[in-house]
Amino acid sequence: MPEIILETKALTKRFGGLAAVKDVDAKVEKGRITAIIGPNGAGKTTFFNLISGTFPSTSGELWLEGQRVERKRPDQMAQLGIARTFQTTSLFDGATVMDNLIVGHRLRTSSGLMDAIFQTSRLKADERSCRAKAEEALDFVGLTHVANRLAADVTQEERKRIAFALALATDPKILLLDEPAGGVNPEETVGLADLIRKISATGLTVCLIEHKMDMVMGLADHIIVLDHGEKIADGTPAEIRANPLVIEAYLGAGHDAAA
Amino acid sequence: MRVDYRMEYVFYGILLLAAVAFPFFATNEYQVYVMALAFIWAISAMGLNLIAGYTGQLNLAHAGFMAIGAYTVGLLTVDYGVPFWLAFLLAGPIAAVVGFFAGILSLRLKTHFFSIFTLCVGYIIYLLIEKGDSFTHGPVGVIGIPAPSIGPLVFDTTTSVYFLVLAFLVLTIWVMRRLVRSIVGRSFVAIRNSDDLAEALGINLMRTKVLAFTLSTFIAGLSGGLFAGFVRFLGPDLAREYHTFDLIAFVLVGGIGTLMGPVLGAVALTWVTQSLQFLENYRMIVFGPMLILLVMFFPHGIIGTFGIWMARRRANAGKRSNTQAVLPSRSGEEARANA
């Protein structure tokens, strides 16, 4: 039985009368790839937002490595080791890719205003570690060659990889990927799936939301299915494929589950 | 990288030389006066650029904080007989303390809500100065502020104050340069870029924004203190929103979110305004379209556009020398899943 790194117990989020996420019990196993799937509006992104601290939950519990964390802000969750990407990656187009990445490791440094003004040795050490981390992350995602290019001049697929690199630079324990292959072509999707596998191989826990079922089925160790904010199933890809509830709610609508 | 820095230092060196030589080549004292005033506005604009340009929070109360710094000097020296330098040392900190509290209140709001709120904050500062007759001299203003002096050294000629202001401008640029290139400055830029992303990267939004806001009001206060020592007369109008809008124009023309943009913008626009003076009120007919064209075709301002051009050139030069391209490898598994 692998170790559980993240667990939700009856996690609920209401927006007014609408329960976007309702009584979700979910477990994320350490070092595995967990996918969260479900039709549009099923509450997947809200679920991510709850885990990453963007929204406080209405009720329920969120446990990270044996610690209750449902009242934490996103920056505190990032400190605790939860990194995330967004559906659209907002980079600063007027700066180089490298310049965009350096801030990623900022949370693991402690230099303040006075360090910056007086250029203390602490600042210099922190800047070195931020730059080194950015270079390492960029190399990991295979984009060293675009380091000095303007963020405005990179492709959509490179942008996705940069988003990964930025998240990796925070030294996370869990990586939350919100539609990592959204808006890229099938070939590039394969490349990104390989990258996710490579990330997982380093021992990092990966959690992803994705609509591309081929990718999810080939990639995930464990799948959680949400529908109307509720968890309707979870299990291995094979179990999910065979689950009649899932087929009815999601896969049946235009997707061939047996493919 | 080394060569870049060397080029940059040469660039700063030339600018500094030009600024030092300017009073000796100026044909009359008025030109020196105008330039010194432009430098004071440039310092203030750098403060605004820190919060609006680098951190992305458009603070419309900036002139108000400049007025707080100016009135700190004006009231302390004229009414309480405090020596100029002591009063001047307090100008930045007092503006920053007010800025800190205004910041923790107003930064709870985002985007244009924040801007509208700060517009009100600025107007409240103006009203407090204008209506606070007994304390601030109200609409009459503060008259007879002593000239800055250090012991026997009195900055009472236009040229001497010009050099004093220049020294503070250089100091501000120097500190700002260190700040914005550090990881502290990078966290400001991350917030401008995207609140959500910055927060997901572990940056404490409120603390970082309040830091940038407080710092920008400190610089506003400092420039206000210089203004008081230079113009030696203060009216409540200094806090008005149209001064903030002038500052925004400086920042936009020079290049928002660039180090030297506000300085270039302040100096350039001041001289353009001066040279259009003969048109009197009709100068806006020339000035307005000029500004619109500039914002349309150079949305990043003069320095910003130049910076992007340089970065592209550098990236292309790098691409030519670096022929290896890393292609994402394909795995058979996904291909099978597609089949």
Positive/negative CA dihedral, A46, A47, A48, A53: positive
What does chain A come to in residues? 259
Query: Is the residue at B338 inside a domain?
Result: no
Q: What angle do CA B211, B97, B208 make, to 5 degrees?
A: 10
Q: How many Å lie between the alpha carbon of B304 and the closest alpha carbon of chain A?
A: 8
Q: Please check whether residue A219 is in contact with residue A193, taking contact to mean a CB–CB distance below 8 angstroms.
A: yes
Q: Is 0.85 exceeded by the ipTM?
A: yes
SS3 B91: helix
Q: Chain A contacts of B315, Cβ < 8 Å?
A: 96, 148-150, 153
- Average pLDDT, whole number, for chain A? 89
CATH number at residue B247: 1.10.3470
Q: Residue B173 is part of which domain span? A: 2-325
- Average pLDDT, whole number, for chain B? 88
| Beta-carbon count within 10 A of A217 CB | 19
Query: Is the residue at B179 inside a domain?
Result: yes
Residue B157, pLDDT above cutoff 90: no
Give the pLDDT confidence score for residue B4 in this predicted structure: 64
Q: Please check whether residue B51 is in contact with residue B108, taking contact to mean a CB–CB distance below 8 angstroms.
A: no
Give the pLDDT confidence score for residue B311 in this predicted structure: 82
For B173, the enclosing helix (H) or strand (E) is helix B158-181
Chain B (248-287) residues lying within 8 Å, Cβ to Cβ, of chain A: 257
**Tens digits of residue pLDDT in B165-216:** 999 999 999 999 999 999 999 999 999 988 999 999 999 999 999 999 999 9
Compute CA distances B23 → A111, B34, B170, B262, B304, whole Å: 41, 11, 16, 21, 29
Mean of pLDDT values over B289-311: 86
Q: Please check whether residue A101 is in contact with residue A47, taking contact to mean a CB–CB distance below 8 angstroms.
A: no
B190–chain A Cβ distance below 8 A for any pair: yes
As a whole number of angstroms, the distance between CA B142 and CA B228 comes to 9
Give the pLDDT confidence score for residue A12 in this predicted structure: 92
Q: Please check whether residue A164 is in contact with residue A180, taking contact to mean a CB–CB distance below 8 angstroms.
A: yes
Q: Using CB atoms, pick whichever of A94, A95, A218 lies closest to residue B333.
A: A218
Contact state of A191 with B330 under an 8 Å Cβ cutoff: yes
Contact state of A145 with B192 under an 8 Å Cβ cutoff: no
Give the pLDDT confidence score for residue B326 in this predicted structure: 39
In order of their start, the domains of chain A are 1-81+172-259 (3.40.50.300), 93-171 (no CATH)
Query: Is the residue at B334 inside a domain?
Result: no
Query: Is the residue at B336 inside a domain?
Result: no
Q: Using CB atoms, pick whichever of B175, B215, B331 lies closest to residue A194.
A: B331
Q: Using CB atoms, pick whichever of A94, A103, A215 lies closest to residue B183.
A: A103
Compute CA distances B119 → B97, B115, B188, whole Å: 18, 6, 22
Residue B318, pLDDT above cutoff 70: no
Higher pLDDT, B292 or A1: B292
Q: How many Å lie between the alpha carbon of A84 and the closest alpha carbon of chain B?
A: 7
As a whole number of angstroms, the distance between CA B141 and CA B66 comes to 15
Q: Using CB atoms, pick whichever of A86, A190, A214 lies closest to residue B197.
A: A86
Total of domains in chain B: 1
Give the pLDDT confidence score for residue B288 in this predicted structure: 85
Query: Is the residue at B337 inside a domain?
Result: no
What does chain B come to in residues? 339
Q: Please check whether residue A36 is in contact with residue A220, taking contact to mean a CB–CB distance below 8 angstroms.
A: no
DSSP string, B120-158: HHHHHHHHHHHH-HHHH-GGG-EE-PPPPEETTEE--SH
For A82, the enclosing helix (H) or strand (E) is strand A82-84
Contact state of A84 with B200 under an 8 Å Cβ cutoff: yes
Strand order in the sheet with A18-29: A18-29, A4-15, A59-64, A67-68
Positive/negative CA dihedral, A238, A239, A245, A250: negative
As a whole number of angstroms, the distance between CA A177 and CA A158 comes to 15
As a whole number of angstroms, the distance between CA A30 and CA A7 comes to 11
Give the pLDDT confidence score for residue B166 in this predicted structure: 96
Residue B319's pLDDT band, with cuts at 50, 70 and 90, is low
Q: Chain A contacts of B328, Cβ < 8 Å?
A: 142, 157, 188, 190-192, 194-195
Q: Chain A contacts of B182, Cβ < 8 Å?
A: 111, 115-116, 123, 127
Give the pLDDT confidence score for residue B321 in this predicted structure: 56
Contact state of B184 with A148 under an 8 Å Cβ cutoff: no
Beta strands A205-209 and A174-178: pairing type? Answer: parallel
Contact state of B328 with A150 under an 8 Å Cβ cutoff: no
B28–chain A Cβ distance below 8 A for any pair: no
Q: What are B120's two structure tokens? A: 């009100």
Contact state of A78 with B334 under an 8 Å Cβ cutoff: no
| pLDDT < 70 stretches in chain A | 1, 250-259
Q: Which long-range contacts link A160-164 to residues 24+ away (Cβ below 8 Å)?
A: A160/A85, A160/A89, A160/A184, A160/A192, A161/A192, A161/A195, A162/A89, A162/A91, A162/A97, A162/A100, A162/A101, A162/A138, A163/A85, A163/A86, A163/A89, A164/A85, A164/A137, A164/A195, A164/A199
SS3 A29: strand
Mean of pLDDT values over B264-280: 88
Radius of gyration of chain B (CA): 23
SS3 content of chain A, % helix, strand, coil (to 5): 40, 25, 35
